[in-house]
């Protein structure tokens, strides 16, 4: 099994729908992150969590919410999806930023 | 504020050529970490290397080498004798230690190695 698992891998949804992207990890890391990737913009941080009770907004959190259900699980929700949220979403974990991130395989989300 | 610039958005080389991917960074911190990640066409992001700001030694790993120069705020990545499997998007990233440990990514350089 992968160290960081994201589900679903691909999703097409309609404008206005609520959607949840899930992430689970077996690394035992406390730190978990959600990023989105857009062509020409690189990776931008949506939310991050240093433990179950510590959740913080990143640089582009508007329109998103998260839930840290356990040390190993960190979910990202789009309450009312809009087309400009079409992107590739990555979950990542780290022990400490010094060690770099372990990324999931990504979720390709299309909002039509 | 932190900034990472990867000025080369796309590069094409013929197989077996050497290629250098440029990364220039900006930070006010004296302690920081630099990274390179690879994103092959399959989409996953793979960690390649970390360098901390106190270690200016160049790193070589097989066909890959990294040149870190604080004087020019650059952390360039060279692939020697490129192969088709090197085709990917490569991201340079900068992290500050302590607190939130913000990580800033460059926009990536897409490398295409032509057989």
Q: What is the pLDDT of residues B78-103, one digit of tens each?
A: 999 999 999 999 999 999 876 666 78
| φ/ψ (deg, to 5) at B59 | -120, 140
Vertex B17, ends B37 and B62: CA angle to 5°? 50
Of the candidates B95, B101, B107, which has its C-beta nearest A41's C-beta?
B107
Q: Between chains, do B106 and A42 touch, taking CB under 8 Å as contact?
A: yes
Residue A49 Cα, gap to closest chain B Cα (Å):
10
Token pair of B45 as six digits: 């992001």
Q: Which chain B residues are closer than 8 Å to A48 by Cβ?
A: 100
Residues B61-82 as b or e (16 or more Cβ within 10 Å = b): eeebbbbbeeeebbbbbbbeeb
pLDDT of B38 above 90: yes
Q: What is the pLDDT of residues A46-71, one digit of tens each?
A: 999 999 999 999 989 999 999 999 99
Q: Cα separation of A78 and A110, whole Å?
A: 12
pLDDT of A79 above 80: yes
Q: What is the pLDDT of residues A21-54, one digit of tens each?
A: 999 999 999 999 999 999 888 899 999 999 999 9
Mean pLDDT of chain B: 92
């Amino acid at each position: 099994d992968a160290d960081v698992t994201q589900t679903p891998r691909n999703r097409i949804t309609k404008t206005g729908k609520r959607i949840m992207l899930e992430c689970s990890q077996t690394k035992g890391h406390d730190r978990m992150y959600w990023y989105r990737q857009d062509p020409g913009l690189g990776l931008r941080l949506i939310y991050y969590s240093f433990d179950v009770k510590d959740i913080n907004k990143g640089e582009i959190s508007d329109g998103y919410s998260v839930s840290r259900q356990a040390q190993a699980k960190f979910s990202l929700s789009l309450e009312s999806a809009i087309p400009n949220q079409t992107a590739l979403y990555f979950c990542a974990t780290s022990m400490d930023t010094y060690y770099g991130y372990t990324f999931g395989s990504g979720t390709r989300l299309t909002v039509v | 504020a932190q900034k990472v610039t990867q000025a080369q958005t796309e590069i094409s080389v013929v197989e077996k050529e050497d290629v250098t991917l440029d990364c220039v960074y900006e930070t006010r911190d004296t302690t920081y970490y630099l990274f390179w990640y690879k994103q092959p066409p399959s989409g996953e992001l793979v960690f390649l290397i970390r360098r901390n700001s106190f270690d200016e030694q160049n790193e070589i790993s097989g066909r890959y080498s990294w040149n870190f120069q604080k004087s020019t705020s650059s952390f360039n990545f060279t692939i020697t004798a490129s192969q088709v499997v090197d085709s990917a998007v490569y991201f340079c990233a900068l992290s500050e230690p302590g607190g939130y440990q913000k990580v800033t990514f460059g926009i990536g350089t897409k490398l295409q190695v032509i057989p």
